[in-house]
């Protein structure tokens, strides 16, 4: 299943935290021309380096499908960023 929502929370010292919800599908639709170019560029790179294009696309889809449930925490000093993919 493709991720549906990305939540970004930024904790700042002495301020209220910022929380941003980003729906994935509208972003992918808006950036679809760039996604198509990236897939074509990846296919050309696979042909140059003698990698199966079908296997590479399948592996990429498996990675995208495994993203829901991923948490990424980054802390630098007193500022923290939490990214959750649902």
Confidence of residue 62 (pLDDT cuts 50, 70, 90): very high
86 and 71 Cβ atoms separated by less than 8 Å = no
Residue 74 has pLDDT above 80, yes or no: yes
The gap between the terminal CA atoms of the chain, to the nearest Å, is 10
pLDDT digits (tens, 9 = 90+) for 10-48: 998 888 999 999 999 999 999 999 999 999 999 999 999
d(CA 65, CA 4): 11
Average of per-residue pLDDT values in the chain: 93
Helices (H), 2-85: 24-30, 32-48, 53-65
């Amino acid at each position: 299943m493709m991720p549906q929502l990305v939540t970004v929370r930024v904790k700042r010292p002495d301020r209220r935290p910022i929380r941003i919800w980003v729906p994935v599908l509208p972003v992918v639709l808006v950036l679809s021309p760039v996604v198509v170019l990236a897939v074509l560029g990846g296919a050309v790179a696979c042909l140059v380096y003698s990698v199966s294009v079908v296997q590479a696309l399948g592996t990429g889809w498996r990675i995208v499908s495994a993203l829901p449930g991923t948490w990424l925490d980054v802390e630098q000093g007193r500022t923290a960023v939490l990214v959750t993919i649902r």
